[in-house]
Each structure stands twice: as structure tokens, then as C-alpha cells.
Structure 1
Amino acid sequence: MNCNVLAANILRLVGGESNVAAVVHCATRLRFKIVDSSKVKLAELAALDGVITVVNGPEQLQVVVGNRITRVYRAFGVISGLLDDGKTVPAQPQPIDSNSFAGRCIALVMAIFSPLLGAMAAAGVLKGLLAMMIAAGWLNSTLSTAIILHAASDSVFYFLPILLAMTCARNFNTNLYVAVAVAGVLVYPTIVGLFESGQRVTLFGLPVVVMKYTGSVLPIIFSVWLMSFIEQWLSGRIHEHVRDLVTPFILLTLMVPLTLLVIGPLGGGISQFVAWLLATLYNVSPIIASALMAAAWPMLILFGLHWGSVPVFLNDISVMGQSFLKAAAAPSIFALSGALLAVRLRTGNKKLKSLASNALIASLFGITEPGIYGVTLRLKKPFICAVIAAAFGGGVVGYAKSSAISIGIPGLLTLPVFYGEGFFGFIMGCTFAFIFSLALTLSVGFDERTMPPLPTLRVYEENNAPERKRAMPKPVSDTSEPIISPISGELIPLCEVNDDVFSTGIVGPGFAIIPDEGRVYSPVDGYIASTIASGHAIGISSKAGAEILIHVGINTVHLEGNYFAVQVKEGDEVKQGQLLLTFDLAGIQASGYDPVTPVIITNSETWRALQVSEKPRSRSGDPMVALTL
């Protein structure tokens, strides 16, 4: 699917631009801060062509799209104003419990650092390659070529306060250019010269603790955060005719002294203390510390908590020039790759084999979410094997005292980031993790026939708006929910559907029908939870609480509504057997689209038992699924 089209569909299903307070991205996921969660059409979003899975938590809506995340994210700038620096968003009440606070902190860290990771990874790889070439005697470090290339590899980190000022200003909703000017003071050549000279420095007679701020992290973050509050306070007290001149003047003349006198030394002191503390704990037992880090990393990725480690790694590199913990996390990436290869080699399911192959390629280059969500976690045993193998590989890396000299997603392309003392041990640890995970998964095995869709693999809702919860029918204890076939045709299992989103059960369990007529009827008594503009899919909520998605055809969203006629609208109450939509079966087939229709139970975790009819054919009205609470 075209990335602009995919972005447009996602934006529509999350409630439109007005319903998005902010959107950022990480390696594979779009992360939305939603204004009103009741406007988000979760089932349709999860079933959208191009979306791997959707996770709806209390702080953000995560839409996993895989390797093309950068192109999809940029498309939001084409089709909306979400990426504009000046975009303002409606205020939202924020929960104050500790878990929610931790979630907001992780989301903030991710929003500040994720735009810089690509540049930092590229600079780190170049730095590592230069070190390799100089060590091998292929490049003379005193030549101008080496000097220029070193400047290219160091500039991102040298001017890191300026880059962080840009991302912080966007996230704290303050003046971008004043923030950059304040950061520029920290790396201004004369200020750097004062630090290197060691001479006494004062400002208005007050002593200034001059520190090295090039490559620093915390001082500029604290400074821009404080500046955002000051700017907000000033905006309500300065006349709008002079606000654009007076406010930046006050901010610049106030924030530079505050940063040099208070915020900078405070942030620098915290940075040095954190680096010292982590180094001390690591030195107690590098093997155990690295093994624990490697084992924990897949689970941190699973819940999106790995972003909290980014400022820790950056701080280590800024203060000590290297990060031992960053290197310790790397074997887990290769352990997951080994488990995916084992699944690909062992499974006889063509759909699972294809999914494992695609996830394997992505994981070797550091993108592990498709492999975790779509394969290893669903099979359970491969995920556990990968964690065990990662711990052993991490122990090898800790024994060698390997470290990273830059930030970057661990993978084949970023191996030079880890060049230096212990590099051979690092390669051995990652190789061992891959081979051990492969062998362990092959020997332990797995049973794909019993893969239940886990909550983290489907849409789940933790913090929907209260009014939406009241509108949803509540399940009744010991209720059996009979679901009739909504369409006539040949009955096939989901695993035979030519679409990974449905065949792997990511959206939920159910069945599929190859239709022989173009009419869809309601499988239950309930109401229409959602419709889609193109008319090819309908979401229904039954009176007993089953949430059912009927999706006519594969990739039929591209037909843009042609051949479909929806007979109901959202919120309508419907009876079992009532006509919901009609479609031109011959027209869909003539256009080259597969008309197979998946019927999915998107909240199957609510039900104790689910039995699907084994009839070879179905007629509309035939009993198909029995759900028991």
C-alpha cells in the first residue's frame, strides 16, 4: 500500500487530525496521544492492510507498521499538520498515579530522542569504521581526510545539546529558536575555551561552574523544560503587539544565565553521578549485569520500556565515552533472530513460515517488534528460548567488557558502533546467542496449532473513555453466544487466508468464507459498532458482549467503495439475520481482488470457550461459532 494512503487510513481510524494531540514514532511503531479514545476504531485499525498490530494503553495508542515506519510517519506531514512545529493541541487531563507518571516519562523520552537516533546511529557506525581503518593502518589519523571524516562522525554528539533543544522545544511547546540559541551558548567556542583553560569565570559577579557541555544530555533538557513554563507565564502578561519581540528577548537574557549558573551544573552533576553509579554496579559483576540486561531487553521492547534506557546510554557515552549496558543489550537482538530462524525451519505452515522469514530479515537489522509480536511471543516457547540464549550471550559480552561508542539499534549494519576493547568478545557473544537460541528452539519445539492470540498481540483497551464503556453491552456470566454465518459460501480456516494480519490470528480468532453471493447478514443481535468509508468492513457488538469484525475481501480497501453498498450505519441496533451490506462479487473478482471474507472475534480473551463449525460449506443463518463466558 502507498504510504500516503496508509497514513490517511490510519489518521481517519484514530478519529482524524483533531483527535490526535501528538504523534511520534520509534523503530516500527507510530505512537499517538489521543484526545478522545472513544473516537478510535480499534478493530478496523488492527485489520487495516499495512498495520501489523495495535496496542492501546492508558498513555498512548501504538500502531505497529514495521520497516516502512519512517515513510508512513513523514506521510502525516503531507496529509496533515500534525508534524508542524507550531501545531497546538487541546489540553488533556493527565492521570497522576505513579504508573501513569512512569508511562508519561517513557513517552516523553521516546519523543525527545527518537528523531535523533538515525543520525546518531549513522555517526556511530562511521566512528567505528574510522577506528577500524586507523587500527588496520589503512588510514593515517593526521591526514585531512581522517580529520574531516572524524568531524562528520563527532558533530552529532558535539552539538547534541542543540539537537536536543530542537526536539525538546517541540515536545514542551516552547520557542524552538530561542531554545536552540540557549543550547548554542553551551557549545559556543569561547565558552568551551573557558572550560579548557581552567580559569575562574563569573557572571554579574557570581561564580560560574564551567563544565563541558558538548555531548551533554540533561542540562539542555532541564533548561528547555523550565523555559516552557516561563514562556507560558509571559504570554499571558505581555501585549500581543509586542509579544513576538519581547518574549524571546526576556527568555534568552534570562535562560542563558540560569543555565550557566544553576541548571547546567545541576544537570552535569546528576549526569556524572548516574554514570559513576552505573559503572560501579556494573564493575561488581560485569557478567551477571550484562546477562540480566540482555535477558530483560526483549521484555522491555515488548512493553515499549526500552526507550527509558536511551538517555542512560547517551549519558554513559557523554561522561565515560562508552556504554557497557548498551553492548550488553545487543545479544538479545540476535537471540530473537535465531529463534525466528528456528521457527522458519521447523514450521510446516506456509503463512507462519512467510511471517517468520520477513521478521527474521528485519530482526537481523535490529527491528524486532514484528518477530516478537507476530511470531515468538505467540508461540511462547521460542520467546522463552530467545530470552535464555540472550542471557548467556550477554554474559559473554560482560566477560569481554565490550562497550558501545554510540547510540544505534543493534544489528548487522551497526556492528562498528561496538568496535574497541572487547569487540571480539562482543561478536562472540552475539554469535553464541544466535546459535544457542536457534538450537534451543529447534530442540524444545513449539505447537503452532495451539497458539492462542495473546492480549499484547491484539487490540486491547486499558483506559477507554467512561462514556464508551457505558455504551458497550456488558457480558453476562455463564452466557453462551451463538453466532450464525453472515454469508453463504465455502468455509475455510483463518490460516488459509492470504493475509498475515488475519491468518496469524493477530487480530483475533474466527473463520473465513469464500462467498458465493454478495450479501452479508448480521451474525448476532446487537448494534453496529463501526463502519468504514470504503464499505468493505463492519464491526458489530453483540448483546452478550462479543465484538465481531466482518471484512469482505483482501485489500478491498483499494476499491474505494466501488462494488459495496452498506445498509446500516454506526449505532444502529440490528437483529440476527438482518441484511448489513451488499457487494458485487463478480465485480470484485474482475478487479483482481480475493473476495474471501474473514469473520473475527476481536475480544476473544473475554470468552472461556470458542468452538467453530467444521462444516465444509456455510449458508447465511447456519450456526458457526459458539462462545461461552
Structure 2
Amino acid sequence: MAYEELSKQILENVGGEQNIKTAWHCATRLRFILKDESKANKAAIEALDGVVTVVQAGGQYQVVIGNNVGEVYDALVAQVPRLGSGDEAETVAGDKKKLTAKGAFDAFVSFISGSFTPFLGAMAGAGILKGLLSLFVVLHWMTPNTGAYQVWYAAADGIFYFLPIVLAFTAAKQLKVNQFVTVSIAAALVYPTMVALTSAKTAINFFGIPIIPTTYTSTVIPILLVVFLQKYLEPLFNKLWHESVRNILTPLCVLMILVPLTFIVVGPISTTISNALANLVLFLYKNTRIISGFVLGGFWEVFVIFGVHWAFVPVMMNNVTKWGYDPLVPILLPAVLAQAGAAFAVFLKTKDEKMKGLAGSNTITSIFGITEPTVYGITLKMKKPFYCATIAGGIGGAIVAASGVHANAVSLVSILTIPTFISKGFGISLIGDVVAFVLATIFTLLWGGINDQPQTAAVAAAAPQTKTSGQAKATLQTRAETLVSPLTGQVIPLTDIKDEVFSSGAMGKGVAIEPSVGEIVAPADATVQMVFPTGHAIGLLTDNGAELLIHIGMDTVQMDGKGFETLVKKDDQVKAGQPLVKFNIKEIKAAGLKTTTPIVVTNSKNYHEVNVMAKNEVKQNELLLDLE
């Protein structure tokens, strides 16, 4: 599906533009804050080709897309420009009603994720560059005194050094305050004169009020507190000043008040909070290192599922600011690699070609830190592989924690992050990473319950194959014939349906029908070659040699036979127009599934042409296909 069409469908099914407060995206997800989540059609969105799943967590309505999320978001913004302008309605973090309904924690998670997501890629790239520079020094490829090192280090450390400025812009957007005023406040905090005074520990005062020297470069908490204060202060001045001078005098008043207030009050408060967080992490790391490693390594992807992993980001950034390193990031890598290992096991064991392709590609993307498509599309969907990955990640996390290794920068957790871990215990931490991947692979192979014939493979099994109908083929050759419609409904080109197994023509040529009557009849005199146990698919061999597959609905195997009644069994001889299966259209749609039904000639290669004769609407027993 084209990105424009996919974004249009998503927009429609989240309740339309009027139901969206704001939207942004991370590495794999479109993240919405909706006015009313009950207006969104989760089942319809999940059924879209290009959507992995939908997650409702942290006050957000998250549509998991995968690696193409940026293109889908751009197409969405093209339809609703305000979503990319920063002028959207208030987010959860600024919505008191939403705060009351969802709780302060949901609001906090939404605020943090919305603040960090826009520059997460840049920060991850800079963090990896920092790690590579450390590796180059260890390998004696360059020294910190060389010009190349200094230029690259400036590129790597710049975003971290001036993090308050970057964070000011995105955090202000979340709370809908003047972004440039917030950036001005952040710039004052890292202004060279103020940094020099802090470095020299020079005491200064503001009209007699002492200012405690505090370092604000690379900090997170101070500017976040400033934005919250600005959220309440700015509207007061907007009401005070006439609109003719508001755009000048409101920023003037906010700067005159908040900058000194930050140096005098916010700074010391944030320092206290930062120290408390750092000391708590240090205490847990020193006294419960292995247990903490097992919990984080095992349950990190659970945190990701619910979106609460964003709550850890300020803590990690604070650790780097206070100590110059963070012990949490290395512990999380086994969790990521364990998902990759579970996906690799599915790739090795499954016989379903579609699942094999999905698992193979997601193994690679997971290794490079993008785990959501793997989790939602494979491991969590199959359940047992997710459990296996959780255990393996916990074991790997415990080993990494025991090693004492730490990261010198916060980055997207992936194998590319490994150079940032160069420190004491680095070798043992690598063992933990390998253990997580290998154990997840082994556990999933042994106990992952991998179904060798999930839906796409089951469809193929349901279709009569040449080798299974060999006896009939010995006496019967395919001949030109016409097939009548097994359904009453709207005719849809096979290429337009939302299942690439059918739309790609991999199963054969044919047509699809959106049924208005829940009954399948035989399209020709035929032998029933296969009736799927759940009743959602039936295979026929016509007397003239055509092999047919009729698949009722999309993903209807999930209904496990509910709403289906089969009227024939394997090897039955049927006449054209004879009822074969009855199904409940309302029940299928109530389950959030599509009733679009492909009718496919699975041995299309035996014919010169498979022509669709019906246009638009068709009734049972009317001419549908002409096989030449």
C-alpha cells in the first residue's frame, strides 16, 4: 500500500483529524494523543497492510509501522499540516482532564517520549560516534590530540553538551509554550560566562540572593522543570499584556523572571533530584547488581510494549551527567539481542515462507535496535518465543550487570552501541550479549511452540497441489472452462486485497469478492480436495482440471471455526451451485476481521489466461471467471 493511502486509512480509523490532539513518530511507531480513544477502530487499523499492531499505553495511541514510519508520518502531515507545525491542541502533559483520567505517570511518560523522540536518532548516532572514538583510541588508531579526533568528538559530544537547548525546543512543543523563549532560557544556562563561573566555583548573587554554582551542560532535569514553570507563567503575561505588545513583553517578562529563578531555585532543586536518582541507581547497582540485571534484561521489552521505557531515559542521561557513564544501557542490550535470537529461531524452524521472510528481516533490524516489529509481528504474537526471549534476556542482563561494564553515552541500544561500553568488564559483558542471543535461539527452537503451518502456510496446504492430486491428473488434463461465482457481492481485483500472499499472485490468478450473503456455492462440478478444519477455506478440483482455493475473509483462521458451518467434506463430489460453506458476516466483522474472499486458480500456470468476466457486482451462479 502507498504511504499516502496507508496514512489516509489510519487517519480515518483513529477518528479523523478532529479526534487527534497531536501526533509524532519514533523509530517504528506513529504516536497519537487522541481526544477520545473509543472513537478509534483498533481492529481496522491492525488489519491494514503496513501496520504491525496497535498499542494503547502511556496515554498514547501507538500505531506500530516499522522502518517506514517516517514516510507514513510525512504522508499524514501532508493531509493534516497542523500535526507537523507545533500548533496542535494540547497534549496529555498539558491536559488536566487527561491527567485526571489517565494518571500523572501516563502524562509524564507522554511528555518524556514526546520530548526525546524527535532527536533520538541524532542522539543515537552521536552516542555511537563517541563509542567509535573510544575504540579508535584503544586500538591506537588515533589520539585525543589529533585534529580528526577533536573534530569528530565535537560532532559526537555537541548534542550532549548542549542537550538543554535541544530538549528545550521539543519539551516546549509538548507543553505548547513559546519554544524560542524556552531555548533562550536553556542557552542562558549553558552560556560560556556562566559555565566559566561554575568551573571556577565563583560565588555570585542576584540582588543579594546567592546563586549556587551549578553545571547545566548535558543536563535534563533543570530544563524540564523550567518548561513546567513556563507553562503556568506564560499564560499570565499573555492575559496581562495587550495583543499589540504581547509578542514582545511576554517573552521579556518570562526571561527576566525564569532565568534568575532557575539559577537561584530550580538549579538547586534539580541538583537534589539528580543526586537522589543517581545515588538510587548506584545503590541498586552495587547491592542488587545481578537481580537488577536480570529484571532489566528480562523485562525491558515489556516496558517497551507499554511505552513506559521512556521513564528511564532521564535517569540514564542523568547518570552520564553525574558520573560520566551509565550502567543501565549495557544491561538492556541482552534484551534486544534476545528478541533477535527468538526471531532467528522462528526463521530457522518455520516452514511458512511469509513468516520466514518476516523473521529473517526482523532478526537483522532487532540486532540494530529496532525490536517493535519483531515483538508485535512475531514473538509476542506467537507468545512462547516472547517468553523464551524474556528468560534469555534476563540471564544475559544478569551477566552484563555482574561484569560492571558501563556506557559513556546514552544511545539507541543495539550492537552499534557496543563501542560505548569499552570499560572494565567489557569482555564479560560481550559474553552476556552472546548468551542472550544464543539462549533465546535455543529456547525458542526447543520450547517456542513454533507452528510450522500458520495461516499463510495453512492456506497453501488448503490449496489442492499437483502432487496431492496426481491420481486425478493422470486421467484428467486441464481444459478451458468457465466458473460461476460462489458468492454474491462486490467484485474486487485480487491485487487490491490486503494480503500480499494473494495480491502478489503467489497463490495464483483469480478475483476477490466482498460478500453480501454468507454462503459459498460450488463454482463448477468438482471434487472437494480440502476443507480446512476451521471452515474458513476450501479447496476444489473441477472436473475439467482447475484447482481452486476459496478463502473466506482475511485472517479468519483466528476465529477457530466460530461463525462457519461446512456443508461438505473432503472427497465429496459436488455440482455447480451446490452450497459448500455458510458463514456469519456480522460475526466476522464484529471480530474486527475483513470478509473479503479470494477465489484463486492455484494452477493458473496451466492456462494461457484467467479472465475475470464479472464487473462491480455479481450474484451466485453468474459467470465469474473464464479459463483459457
TM-score range, shorter chain: 0.7 to 0.9
Match of 1:435 among 425, 435, 438: 438
The residue type paired with residue 343 of structure 1 is V
The alpha-carbon deviation at position 6 of structure 1 amounts to: 2.8
1:623 aligns with 2:582: yes
2:207 corresponds to 1:253 = no
Do the aligned partners of 1:112 and 1:168 also contact (CA within 8 Å) in 2? Answer: yes
2:316 matches 1:316: no
Q: Return the letter of the residue paired with 1:157.
A: F
TM-score normalised by structure 2 residue count: 0.75
Against the structure 1 CA distance between its residues 253 and 598, is the aligned structure 2 distance closer, same or farther, given a 3 Å change threshold?
farther
1:172–1:609 CA distance, 2 compared to 1 (3 A): same
Q: 1:406 to 1:70 in 2, by over 3 A?
A: farther
Asked if the contact 2:164/2:217 (under 8 Å) is kept, the reply is yes
Q: Distance in 2 between matches of 1:334 and 1:492?
A: 27
Preserved contact between residue 553 and residue 596 of structure 1 (Cα < 8 Å): no
Q: 1:417 aligns with which of 416, 420, 438?
A: 420
Compute the RMSD of aligned alpha carbons: 3.8
SS at match of 2:68: helix
Percent identity between the two aligned chains: 33
Aligned to 2:625: none
Give 1:228-627 correspondences, 5 Å limit. Answer: 228-448=231-451, 517=485, 520-521=488-489, 554=503, 599-600=553-554, 613=566, 622-624=581-583
User: Structure 1 length as normaliser, TM-score?
Assistant: 0.75
User: CA–CA distance in 1 between the matches of 2:565 and 2:415?
Assistant: 44
Q: Which has the higher contact order (CA 8 A, sep 6+)?
A: 1
Deviations 1:50-96 (A, max 9, x none): 11112345832211101112232233333322344441327867345
SS in 1 for 2:244: helix
CA pair 41-439 structure 1, distance change in 2 beyond 3 A: closer
How much does 1:209 deviate?
1.1
Superposed, which structure 2 residues align to 1:84-163 within 5 Å?
84-89=84-89, 94-95=97-98, 100-163=103-166
Q: 1:552 and 1:624 mapped to 2: Cα distance?
A: 22
Structure 1: segments with no counterpart, 5+ residues: 453-490, 499-514, 523-531, 538-548, 557-562, 568-573, 578-593
Contact 2:338-2:392 at 8 Å conserved across structures: yes
CA distance in structure 2 between the partners assigned to 1:335 and 1:394 by the alignment: 10
Q: Structure 2 vs 1, CA of residues 492 and 384 (structure 1 numbering), >3 Å: closer, same or farther?
A: closer
Q: Distance in 1 between matches of 2:565 and 2:224?
A: 55
CA offsets 1:548-591 (integer angstroms, 9 cap, x no match): x99997489xxxxxx99999xxxxxx9978xxxxxxxxxxxxxx
In the alignment, what sits opposite 2:14? Answer: 14
Partner secondary structure for residue 241 of structure 1: coil
1: CA distance, partners of 2:25 / 2:501: 31
Decide whether aligned partners of structure 1 residues 612 and 114 sit closer, same or farther in structure 2, where only a CA change above 3 A counts: farther
Contact 1:287-1:395 within 8 A present in 2 as well: yes
Change (3 A) 1:3 1:497: farther
1:255-312 deviation digits (Å, cap 9, x = unpaired): 1111111112211221111101110111003222212210111211222222221111
Superimposed CA distance per residue, residues 385-426 of structure 1 (whole angstroms, 9 cap, x where no aligned partner): 111111111121112111122222222233223223322222
Pair 602,445 (structure 1): closer, same or farther in 2 beyond 3 Å = closer
The alpha-carbon deviation at position 612 of structure 1 amounts to 6.3
Partner residue in 2 for 1:59:
59
Structure 2: segments with no counterpart, 5+ residues: 464-482, 506-510, 520-547, 592-628
What is the deviation of 1:183? 0.1
Q: Provide the rounded CA distance (Å) in 2 between the counterparts of 1:231 and 1:602.
A: 54
Aligned equivalents of 1:299, 1:62: Cα separation in 2? 15
* 1:321–1:601 CA distance, 2 compared to 1 (3 A): same
Amino acid at match of 1:293: L
Deviations 1:142-187 (A, max 9, x none): 1222212111111011000000100111001000111000000111
Residue 47 of structure 1: how far off its partner (Å): 1.8
Secondary structure at the residue paired with 1:89? coil
Question: Matched residue of 1:24: which SS?
Answer: strand
- Relative to 1, partners in 2 of residues 1:197 and 1:374: Cα closer, same or farther, differing over 3 Å? same
Contact 1:46 1:54 in 2 (8 A): yes
| Secondary structure class of the residue paired with 1:150 | helix
Is 2:34 the counterpart of 1:34? yes
Question: Which amino acid in structure 1 is aligned with residue 553 of structure 2?
Answer: V
- Residues 275, 319 of structure 1: 8 Å contact kept: yes
How far is 1:42 from its partner? 3.2
Query: For the residues of structure 2 that align with 1:20 and 1:516, how far apart are their CA atoms?
Result: 46
**Kept in 1: contact 2:327–2:407 (CA 8 A):** yes
Cα distance between partner residues in 2 of 1:90 and 1:324: 35
Aligned length: 526
